[in-house]
Chain A
Amino acid sequence: MAIALPKNPLPLGDRVSRGFANEDSPSRHLASGIPSLDQKFGGIPAGVIAEIAGGVSSGVTSLALRYLAEATSQGQIAAWIDPHEAFDVQSAIDAGVQLQQLLWVRCHRDIDCALRVTDLILHGGGFGLVVFDLIGVPDKALESFPLSCWFRFQRAIRNTPTALIVLANSNQAKSAAGRQMQVQREKVLWSGTDAARLLDGFVVRVAQRKPMHPGFVSLPTEATV
């Protein structure tokens, strides 16, 4: 029996689903609200893990709170999972975060507990943005993370409106991350003379490592007086 083949079959690559590819959903991206950054890198897509990494005083948390402020201002529900208990409420208010839209969970410096809380929130669903703050967590504790937990998180948020931002001193989610951003501090801005000197802020350099994007964006961060 003859089998009728389609006249113009699609290439095989287009017909086979790419199981492990972290494809960005074209439907929704979470912008930072900073035009130069959003034009350069295009925001964080929903349904992926985005890592923001940087060293001490690099501006990682400032950038994450910008995304959080933007998400909560859009009316979304967000969560901040805080194993190191470093979240500062006043800084969040200054950054424009709508606190009534935010669930903040302090995890007693217990990284296993923080992992479970993240898992519960991601599987519960409905959150627009979840931030998992691993800055300050000792390397030994981070090394004990099974890589599979990142894939579990990725599976939980895939095809959902939730974006997971992971803050760390170095990249942790490896191939499970759909976005990797690197933040470096360029300089510290001071103003005034000795007696009335003020910390004005930082200038930080944001680069995107995954998907690889050439170039970087320099952004000033302003201190609140």
Chain B
Amino acid sequence: MFACLYFPDLSFNAADLGRLANEFSPLYEIPNLNTILLSLQGLERRHESHAAGGEWILRELQMRGYARARVAIASTLDVALFAAKHRSQAVCVVPPGTESRFLAGLPVACLPLSPGMLETLESWGIRNFGEFAALPPMGIAERWGEEGYRLLMLAQGKSNRPLVQYLAPATFEQRIELEDSIELLEPLLLVLNQALVGLCRGLQTHTLATDRFTLAFGLENHLEDIRRNELPVPIDNAKTLLKLIQLELEARPLRAAVKALTIRLRPASPRHTQNNLFLPPAPEPQQLEITLKKIARLVGEDRMGSPEPLDTHRPDSYRFTRFAGKPCEPLPTGPREMRLILRVFRPPLSAAVRMEKERPLHLRTAGIGGKIVSFSGPWRTSGNWWTTSEWDREEWDVCLDSGGVYRIYSERNQSVWFVEGCYD
């Protein structure tokens, strides 16, 4: 037998409903946020009749302040649901074998019908469950298929679907209060490792991974330090997470000794990939993440990544974007030629250039110098004159007698020279 607990005009969150249902039975379903379906298995022996059981549940609900709650008991889940929602009694018991008779008077609109089906039934003059239930099953199945047959079974009170047990969303969080404060990273990592192994085991049990971890450290002197890290791919491996945390803490050490810590892992669907036979190999994402973190610790996060040119004509304008490290389908390529490449000096080298008749004759700068044997230019470029980051310059390509070919430029109106780069 099943009971349906219905709370008209109320709406709960699923966790609260789950807690309430748990007080009656561990086997329950939450079809929507004001209804609970309970299995009465095991409860039946406590009460002499189903009506007494229903009265007891109602009393318990009323004691908790749900004065308008309704309880219906029936042999199937759907009959109990219809009885609780569409009958006004506080306790309604549908004895086994009387389901179709009980449902017969309900209006057909109570069934989860599509607008088209409802219109068709109304055009046939079918107004209640009883009239619909009397239609031939083969005819309904031929007209509306499996869905029509399911609705017919609902109307006859013969649907026998199983209870879909509600599972609360799992949380993966652990708080550790330390007896003695930890100052050094190594013992802290030991504690973190223990917690992460447990949390990752929990993730794996639920076939989940995490795409974000949050570490909240309670420090001495009532300080708090919170670290959040978004992961590019979901990870369920404690060793990888520990390494990432280690790199994070080495890059930005904590300000004081740790008294307590909380680890929170946001669950996410694990990454399911099948390697493509026709794609070139690529770094394993978890290993790549660790490698990138290690490189970032050496050079800084602002000095690595995939370069992306900015939408400007200003020379050497680019920004770094996060390196994804994903291989892609090969592009169609034909025979190609070499392009002349500029090697850029960052920052540009300040230079002294001797001019004669508006032609550069001699170049001298740190480590580079000589007579200019051939040149082209000047090529004038300017931009951003409407902002403070204006540039306005004359560029020359020069070849020195020593063999080097350079791009030099002078800022207009400033008569200062720079070597921008070397052609190679």
Interface positions of A (Cβ within 8 A of B): 33-35, 55-63, 65-66, 69-70, 73-77, 84-96, 98-108, 113, 116-117, 120-121, 124-128, 135-136, 161, 185, 188, 190, 192, 197-199, 201-202, 204, 219-224
Contacts and interface: CB of A to CB of B under 8 A. Distances in A.
B424 A104 contact: no
Given A103-B305, A124-B283, A57 B424 contact: yes
A125 B424 contact: no
B399 A188 contact: yes
Given A66-B338, A94-B339, A104 B295 contact: no
Given A35-B335, A99-B308, A199-B397, A126 B404 contact: no
Contacts of B340: 59, 62, 91, 199, 201-202, 221-224
Given A75-B330, A190-B376, A59 B338 contact: yes
B345 interface: yes
Contact of B424 (A135, A198, A224): A135
B337 to A, nearest CB: 6
Given A89-B316, A89-B318, A77 B283 contact: yes
Given A106-B303, A117-B299, A199-B423, A101 B344 contact: no
B291 interface: yes
Given A105-B304, A202-B423, A66 B346 contact: no
Given A62-B338, A75-B330, A135-B424, A125 B283 contact: yes
Interface residues of B, number: 62
B281 A91 contact: no
A209 B305 CA distance: 34
Contacts of A63: 338
A40 to B, nearest CB: 14
B298 A117 contact: yes
B304 A61 contact: no
B287 A57 contact: no
Among B295, B305, B321, B339, the most chain A Cβ lie within 10 Å of the Cβ of B339
B328 interface: yes
A99 B403 contact: no
Nearest to A103: B323
Interface string B265-309: 000000000000001111110011011001100110001111111
B306 A86 contact: no
Contacts of B339: 62, 65-66, 91, 94-96, 221-224
A61 B423 CA distance: 9
A73 B333 contact: yes
B273 to A, nearest CB: 14
A182 to B, nearest CB: 14
Given A61-B341, A116-B298, A126-B288, A88 B421 contact: yes
Contacts of B344: 85-88
A126 B281 CA distance: 6
Given A103-B306, A105-B295, A126-B325, A59 B374 contact: no
A7 to B, nearest CB: 41
Contacts of B399: 188
Contacts of A85: 344, 346
B299 A113 contact: yes
A128 B403 CA distance: 34
12 contacts: A56-B404, A66-B338, A77-B325, A86-B346, A91-B341, A101-B328, A104-B306, A120-B295, A126-B325, A136-B343, A197-B374, A224-B340
B337 A57 contact: no
Contacts of B336: 33-34, 66, 69-70, 96
B405 interface: yes
Contact of A76 (B327, B345, B421): B327
Contacts of B290: 124
- The dominant DSSP class at the B interface is mixed
B343 A86 contact: yes
A56 B306 contact: no
Interface in B230-281: 279-281
B303 A127 contact: no
B287 A126 contact: yes
B302 to A, nearest CB: 9
B422 interface: yes
B191 interface: no
B355 interface: no
Interface in B376-424: 376-377, 397, 399, 402-405, 421-424
A90 B312 CA distance: 11
Contact of A124 (B279, B288, B321): B288
A57 B423 contact: yes
Nearest to A202: B340
Nearest to B320: A104
Contacts of A103: 304-306, 323, 325
Contacts of B331: 73-75, 98
Contacts of A108: 299, 303
B375 interface: yes
B341 A88 contact: yes
Closest 7 CB pairs of A and B: A126-B283, A124-B291, A197-B376, A86-B343, A61-B424, A221-B338, A33-B336
Contacts of B405: 57, 188, 199, 202
Contacts of A120: 291, 294-295, 298
A74 B295 contact: no
B179 interface: no
A75 B327 contact: yes
Given A57-B422, A90-B309, A100-B324, A121 B341 contact: no
Nearest to B423: A57
A127 to B, nearest CB: 6
A59 to B, nearest CB: 6
